[in-house]
Amino acid sequence: MDSIAIWFGESLGQYIPAELVTFIVSLLPVLECRGGIIVGRLLGLPLAETVFISVIGNILPIPFILLFIKKIFKWLKPTKYIGKAVCKIEEHAMKKSDALKKGEFLGLMLFVGVPLPGTGAWTGAMISTLLGIRIKKAILPIFLGVIMATVIISLIMYGIL
């Protein structure tokens, strides 16, 4: 993930402002706020600005995922090639759902907040939707998880830890 974030930072950073690159990277699945923090640091943005931009970028797509992912998956499943990918994404997300089944709020927050491969707001939102967790119950733990991941990565990237 680090190398992808660095590639985005180096490639896009030549043509568009560092703030916009950080925002774009934070919007993307897999990279999310963690990638945004890496890019912000790489491009020399101050910590507070990087954190703010990364959190906003990471949170922005989450309501849309919570509202529409089931409909999008249902629409894509019948297609020949994309349908297989959708099934694999669902399968992957559901394998990671055990942590959420026991304690929805804390499990979802920790799943999103602990910066490990395959975790994050996008996957957390998908899993919560597939498990039938109501949107109102999912938003806060996902948001707090994003804040948690942002703090952890910021402490590491800005040399505080």
The C-alpha atoms of residue 31 and residue 133 are separated, in whole angstroms, by: 24
Residues 4-31 pLDDT 10s: 888 988 898 889 999 999 999 999 998 9
Residues 92-123 pLDDT 10s: 777 767 666 667 889 899 999 998 888 899 99
Q: Taking the mean position of all CA atoms in its chain, how far away is CA 86?
A: 18
Residues 50-72 pLDDT 10s: 999 999 999 999 999 999 998 99
The C-alpha atoms of residue 90 and residue 97 are separated, in whole angstroms, by: 11
End-to-end CA distance of the chain: 20
Average pLDDT of the chain, as a whole number:
90
Of 68, 128, 72, nearest to 101 by C-alpha is 128
pLDDT at 44 over 80: yes
Question: Which residue is associated with the tokens 């560092």?
Answer: 18
